[in-house]
């Protein structure tokens, strides 16, 4: 743990001033379509003051993003950890952890390795279903980033198997539980929360009520994670309608969790939407209080 690094002193914000902070965004280091430097340019163009880069199970894009920072934009290093409970995938946003923490780094390596194995297995199943997509095509679309289902979906579109990425994420193809879907290694979410804490970071439960994901995270699991040290819950997310936001805001207040917001932008894949959801300065301040594993980066 690197407790000597300055954290909040670096943030160019005051809790009483309005700021625009998007705490959830992907680059080509995972399944976003934009390289990290381009993500930063898009964040600046969207008028953001703070952007968290939260690629899946990797911080590989942080250095390039940091090098591209213009004055006035702060980068919050983070990632979106792949977790699973009772067969359902749960995403955990983690910020300001020490990326070199041995167990956390090892778990991320294991998840990334398993993504490759499961991607190859899914391609084998697609071939069995008469829809061959080549590994070279998938890795060329991934461009060296962490291989994910969106890359396979895009390769399926390119091969003419389906008309759109959305059509690939169905029971017929690679949607959860689908004919060509293969589960991969993931962390138990309570263990992941503890691990992020051990690495000096803070964690936020991502999009718990996004119906598009086919499963809603039950309130009892959110309560369990809060007891395990979860710091916040993502309330403002494009896949949460207003009743869901209200429901989550109430739950967050009951459990003492910070309500955050983020665009979950993936570049072209989601429609360019960086900065469409944000977190208030007060909530950001509360979220990051006590995080000691890494520093907020500025240009
Ligand atoms: Zn997610
Ligand atoms: Zn995400």
- The per-residue pLDDT for range 240-267, each reduced to its tens digit, is 999 999 999 999 999 999 999 999 999 9
Please provide the average confidence, as pLDDT, over all residues in the chain. 92
Q: Quick one: which ligand is closest to 264's CA? A: 2
- Per-residue pLDDT band for 8 (boundaries 50, 70, 90) equals very low
Tell whether the model's pLDDT for residue 104 goes beyond 50: yes
CA 264 to centroid of ligand 2, rounded, Å: 5
Q: How high is the pLDDT of residue 10?
A: 52
Q: Residue 270 CA: which ligand is closest?
A: 2
Q: Which ligand is nearest to the CA of 217?
A: 1
pLDDT digits (tens, 9 = 90+) for 173-191: 999 889 999 988 999 999 9
The rounded percent of the chain whose pLDDT value lies above 90 is 84
| Closest ligand by atom to 267 CA | 2
Query: For the chain, what is the HEC assignment?
Result: CCCCCCCHHHCCCCCCCCCCEECCECCCCCCCCCCHHHHHHHHHHCCCCEEEEEEECCCCCHHHHHHCCCCCCEEEEEEEEEEEECCEEEEEEEECCCCCCHHHHHHHHHHHHHHHHHHHHHHHHHHHCCCCCCHHHHHHHHCCCCCCHHHHHHHHHHCCCCCCHHHHCCCCCCCCCCCCCCCCCCECHHHHHHHHHHCCCEEEECCCCCHHHCCCCCHHHHHHHHHHCCCEEEEECCCCCHHHHHHHHHHHHHHCCEEEECCCECHHHHCCCCCCCCECHHHHHHHHCCCCCCCCEEC
Q: How confident is the model at residue 4 (pLDDT cuts 50, 70, 90)?
A: very low
Write down the pLDDT at residue 1: 33
Tell me: pLDDT of 3 over 70: no
Give the per-residue pLDDT at 188: 97
Residues whose beta carbons lie less than 5 angstroms from ion ligand 2: 80, 264
- Confidence at residue 12, expressed as pLDDT on a 0 to 100 scale: 52
**Å from CA of 165 to ligand 2 middle:** 16
Tell me, in angstroms, the distance from the centre of ligand 2 to residue 41's CA: 19
The answer on pLDDT for 207 being more than 80 is yes
Ligand 2 centroid distance, CA of 293 (Å): 21
CA of 4 to the centre of ligand 1 (A): 31
Ligand approaching nearest to the C-alpha of 277 = 2
Give tens-digit pLDDT for 9-43. 455 555 556 789 999 999 999 999 999 999 999 99
**265 C-alpha to ligand 1 centroid (Å):** 10
């Amino acid at each position: 743990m690197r407790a000597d690094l300055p954290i909040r002193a670096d943030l160019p914000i005051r809790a009483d001033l309005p700021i625009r902070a998007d705490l959830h965004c992907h680059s080509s280091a995972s399944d976003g379509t934009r390289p990290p430097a381009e993500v930063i340019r898009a964040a600046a163009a969207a008028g953001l003051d703070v952007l968290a880069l939260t690629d899946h199970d990797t911080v590989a894009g942080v250095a390039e993003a940091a090098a591209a920072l213009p004055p006035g934009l702060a980068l919050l290093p983070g990632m979106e950890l792949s977790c699973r409970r009772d067969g359902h995938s749960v995403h955990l946003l983690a910020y300001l952890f020490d990326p070199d923490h041995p167990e956390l780094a090892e778990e991320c390596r294991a998840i990334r390795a398993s993504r490759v194995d499961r991607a190859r297995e899914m391609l084998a199943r697609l071939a069995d279903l008469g829809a061959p997509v080549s590994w070279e095509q998938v890795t060329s679309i991934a461009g060296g980033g962490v291989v994910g289902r969106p890359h396979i979906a895009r390769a399926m579109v390119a091969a003419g198997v389906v008309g759109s990425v959305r059509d690939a994420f169905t029971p017929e193809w690679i949607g959860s539980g689908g004919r060509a879907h293969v589960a991969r290694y993931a962390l138990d979410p309570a263990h992941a929360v503890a691990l992020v804490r051990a690495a000096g970071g803070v964690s936020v439960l991502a999009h718990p009520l996004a119906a598009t994901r086919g499963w809603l995270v039950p309130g009892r699991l959110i309560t369990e994670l809060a007891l395990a040290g979860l710091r916040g819950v993502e309330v403002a997310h494009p896949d949460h309608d207003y009743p869901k936001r209200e429901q989550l805001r109430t739950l967050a207040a009951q459990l003492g969790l910070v309500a955050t917001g983020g665009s979950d932008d993936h570049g072209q894949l989601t429609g360019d939407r960086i900065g469409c959801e944000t977190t208030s300065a007060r909530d950001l301040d509360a979220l990051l209080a006590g995080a000691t594993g890494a520093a907020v980066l500025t240009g």
